[in-house]
Chains A and B, each alone.
Chain A
Amino acid sequence: MSSGRKDISNWTCPWCFARGNDSAPLYYNQKKDRYYCVRCCYTGDYNKTVETFKDYQKKYRLMTMRLELLPK
């Protein structure tokens, strides 16, 4: 196991998440020093996992935009 590894073992698999499943846990493979999903073929470390979630967030184009819908 690499030292300083960011623990994401309580996160859900980003590929399963993209299919609406947020309960597919990530497991750590110590020999290969990476996380993997038992439901799909995803493997990756912290950075790749965050990057994959960020890709999914592109769907939320208005996520950081305050729309001010109510008349003042």
Chain B
Amino acid sequence: MINGKLYFNLIHRVAGSRENFEFFKLQQDMAHAHGLKATVITAYDALENPNIVKKIKEYRQNFGDELGILLTDIDDGAGMLNGNYAFWLFSMEKKCRIIDASVQRFKEVFGFCPQVMTTYYLDAPTICYIKSTYPEVQAVIATCFEEGTKTLKGTNYDCYLFSEGGPWWPWIPSKQNSQCPAFDKDDDSGVVALPHLTRDMLLSIEDRNDYFASHPQNMTRGWVFDGNSWEYMNNFFDMTTLQFKYNEGYSYSNMYVDPKWLMKVGRHDDDVREAIYLDTIKYLAELKRSDYLIDMGVAEFSLWFRENRGYNKPDINLWEDILCGSERKIFWYIDSYLRATVDPNQGGAITDLRPYVARLERPVGADTQYLCEGSYPYILHSLYRGGWPAYMSTKSMFTCAITCNGRNVHLRTCSTGCGYEKNVIGPSAVLDPVDLDFGDVQMKLKSVITFAGSGHIVVTREIVACSDLQAEIEVFEFFNGCWGTNEYPNDLRKVELSCIGEHETVQFPVRYDGRMVEVKNLKEVYARIPDVSTGIRLTTNMRETVGIAFDGLMTGPMYTIGVKGIVKMGEVASTCLLVEKI
């Protein structure tokens, strides 16, 4: 009995050129021959070609394929677009003109409004325009998960698509920021958003992730094949499917491959491009026959999603290394309030945190403040911010140091495994206990990171075995914070830090002076980050608490807030991190 499913969208796009059309038909034939539903996306120029239109109508009639439209240049760069082609980078006025012209032509050709629109990035104002003007639209391809800084470098500084910080699976986008899952009906922009492709969630943090995605020819582009062996592709879909274990039986992927990727273009993978696409189609069909996969049209899926997933239902991803043999895992959590990455390889540190609760309005395009920068800001990021010297010699992360008998261990140096549990307050990343050696005292320490909803993250540390049952340890939970959307440091001087104790309160702004404050009998420590309308609040249940606030340095541009306390075996150190809107 299989108690979970991979919900799957196969999407085929056709443009107006003869060669593109030929390979599109090949993709369609593969899908239909193996019993998979496809959604056909038409580019504007394809609508001008009677042969293509006729064929699409046949697909719709004979196989029930859904139809949608690609939002892109509509005049081959010759008119108002002046050579631009990336839809998301146009001004709002031009975006609306493209949408209107595309829908009008689509209606003339097919007699109805498309229910699906796709591009690589859609901001909230554009989605709201689409839904208010064309209420028939049910779904959009809205982002490319974690493509941004690394993809810019990866394309030799040619591709201006910044889409980091968003969901990896479908979501109902907020009216205020399309990357934030909606809280509720009032916040609902009216469509279901899908990511373009799904990704290897471990390799997404290491480097560019387009090679390691539900796109067979991106995989061969990344040399992830040897001759006729491309096992990674099937392993990828298996690992994606397995995510249903953490998501109430639900997992998701889509495959959206432009026909050009099947053509021979003088690249190293020319000889396998068709073969790997066919093999992948066959494997997906096999998953369907094995009752693991349900294929749907995109609009069909969006209706299912609204009914079965809806608002503010967390998605979990616990991905294992299936390519490099490291045995490494990574844990991701997302809801309407935040997105977090937990890295067991660094002892369960939170290494990337996005404050959706702030609902930052950041439209993209030529007429906006943010231009191409569509990534949703982080408030810590271990790969983008560090320094020397940095506080506790670490990167930007939320982590812990343990002290016993004057010896100190950083949990970020304790690589470990990770499992998933759902406890009474929420879904949890349960880290395998780590061995800590303090010379005359040895112990095993277990960490659990629970996502309690509404922006609360509860971290517990518990000694589960110890050579000295009376030994006390000092637990120091600290948050090396910053903010930004890419790898360059932003100005932190609007950030205010507060240590609030039973008897005193100390508050100061960040000035990169290296100022350190400690307050005993702590009630809470707080960081106010106006640039991203976010507050960070730390509280704890530990004994003999001390609050820490550290100003940061120009050479390590991160502020720190932290809490220290004492625990021993039989006690659980519980610290709550609250991410809130200010």
* B266 contacts across to A, CB distance below 8 A: 7-11
* B19 → A minimal CB distance (Å): 16
A10 CA to B290 CA in the complex, in Å?
40
CB nearest neighbor in B for A64: B229
CB nearest neighbor in B for A39: B156
A61 CA to B226 CA in the complex, in Å?
11
A53 CA to B377 CA in the complex, in Å?
35
* A66 → B minimal CB distance (Å): 5
> Which residue in B2, B158, B208, B287 is a CB contact (below 8 Å) of A20?
B208
Structural contact, B231 and A65, CB atoms closer than 8 A? yes
* B265 contacts across to A, CB distance below 8 A: 10
A56 CA to B221 CA in the complex, in Å?
13
A22 at interface, CB cutoff 8 A: yes
* A60 contacts across to B, CB distance below 8 A: 223-224, 232, 323-324
Asked whether A23 and B156 contact (CB < 8 A) given A10-B265, A70-B242, the answer is yes
A59 CA to B235 CA in the complex, in Å?
17
Structural contact, A66 and B234, CB atoms closer than 8 A? yes
Most chain A CB within a 10 A radius of its CB, from B154, B239, B322: B154
Complex interface bits, B9-32 against A, C-beta within 8 A gives 1, otherwise 0: 000000000000000000000000
B160 at interface, CB cutoff 8 A: no
A32 CA to B504 CA in the complex, in Å?
75
Structural contact, B324 and A64, CB atoms closer than 8 A? no
A23 CA to B154 CA in the complex, in Å?
7
* A16 → B minimal CB distance (Å): 8
Asked whether A22 and B242 contact (CB < 8 A) given A56-B223, A57-B226, A62-B235, the answer is no
B412 at interface, CB cutoff 8 A: no
A69 CA to B244 CA in the complex, in Å?
13
Structural contact, B242 and A59, CB atoms closer than 8 A? no
> Which residue in A16, A22, A24, A62 is a CB contact (below 8 Å) of B222?
A22
CB nearest neighbor in B for A11: B268
CB nearest neighbor in B for A61: B325
> Which residue in A20, A65, A70 is a CB contact (below 8 Å) of B292?
A70
A50 CA to B268 CA in the complex, in Å?
9
* B105 → A minimal CB distance (Å): 33
A39 CA to B301 CA in the complex, in Å?
44
A1 at interface, CB cutoff 8 A: no
A18 CA to B18 CA in the complex, in Å?
35
B241 at interface, CB cutoff 8 A: yes
A63 at interface, CB cutoff 8 A: yes
A29 at interface, CB cutoff 8 A: no
CB nearest neighbor in B for A25: B156
The interface size of chain B toward A, counting residues with CB under 8 Å, comes to: 36
The interface size of chain A toward B, counting residues with CB under 8 Å, comes to: 31
* A21 → B minimal CB distance (Å): 6
The binding surface of chain A is classed by DSSP as loop
B407 at interface, CB cutoff 8 A: no
A39 CA to B224 CA in the complex, in Å?
24
* B62 contacts across to A, CB distance below 8 A: none
* B207 contacts across to A, CB distance below 8 A: 20
> Which residue in A8, A21, A53, A71 is a CB contact (below 8 Å) of B223?
A53
Structural contact, B158 and A63, CB atoms closer than 8 A? no
A67 at interface, CB cutoff 8 A: yes
Asked whether A21 and B323 contact (CB < 8 A) given A53-B223, A53-B268, A70-B238, the answer is no
* A55 → B minimal CB distance (Å): 11
* B438 contacts across to A, CB distance below 8 A: none
Structural contact, A64 and B156, CB atoms closer than 8 A? no
* A9 contacts across to B, CB distance below 8 A: 266
B153 at interface, CB cutoff 8 A: yes
CB nearest neighbor in B for A65: B231
> Which residue in B153, B231, B239 is a CB contact (below 8 Å) of A63?
B231
A24 CA to B155 CA in the complex, in Å?
8
B503 at interface, CB cutoff 8 A: no
A39 CA to B156 CA in the complex, in Å?
9
Residues 4-42 of A contacting B (Cβ, < 8 Å): 7-11, 16-17, 19-24, 39
A63 CA to B150 CA in the complex, in Å?
23
* A8 contacts across to B, CB distance below 8 A: 266, 268
Asked whether A69 and B224 contact (CB < 8 A) given A7-B266, A20-B207, the answer is no
Complex interface bits, B139-158 against A, C-beta within 8 A gives 1, otherwise 0: 00000000000100111101
A34 CA to B242 CA in the complex, in Å?
47
Structural contact, B226 and A64, CB atoms closer than 8 A? yes
Structural contact, B324 and A67, CB atoms closer than 8 A? no
> Which residue in A20, A53, A66 is a CB contact (below 8 Å) of B153?
A20
Structural contact, A57 and B156, CB atoms closer than 8 A? no
Structural contact, A23 and B232, CB atoms closer than 8 A? no
Residues 213-228 of B contacting A (Cβ, < 8 Å): 221-226
* A20 contacts across to B, CB distance below 8 A: 150, 153-154, 207-208
* B158 contacts across to A, CB distance below 8 A: 23
A9 CA to B150 CA in the complex, in Å?
24
CB nearest neighbor in A for B320: A69
A56 CA to B231 CA in the complex, in Å?
18
Residues 232-250 of B contacting A (Cβ, < 8 Å): 232, 234-235, 238-239, 241-242
Given A20-B154, A57-B226; 14 other pairs, CB 8 A cutoff: A7-B266, A19-B153, A50-B268, A61-B325, A62-B231, A64-B231, A66-B231, A66-B234, A66-B235, A69-B238, A69-B241, A69-B242, A69-B322, A70-B287
The 9 closest A-B pairs by CB, nearest first: A61-B325, A10-B266, A23-B156, A69-B238, A64-B229, A66-B231, A67-B235, A23-B155, A20-B154
- What are 17 pairs between A and B in contact, CB < 8 Å? A10-B266, A17-B223, A21-B154, A22-B221, A23-B155, A50-B268, A53-B223, A57-B223, A62-B232, A63-B225, A64-B229, A65-B231, A65-B235, A67-B322, A69-B242, A70-B241, A71-B2
Interface of A toward B, CB cutoff 8 Å: 7-11, 16-17, 19-24, 39, 50, 53, 56-57, 59-71
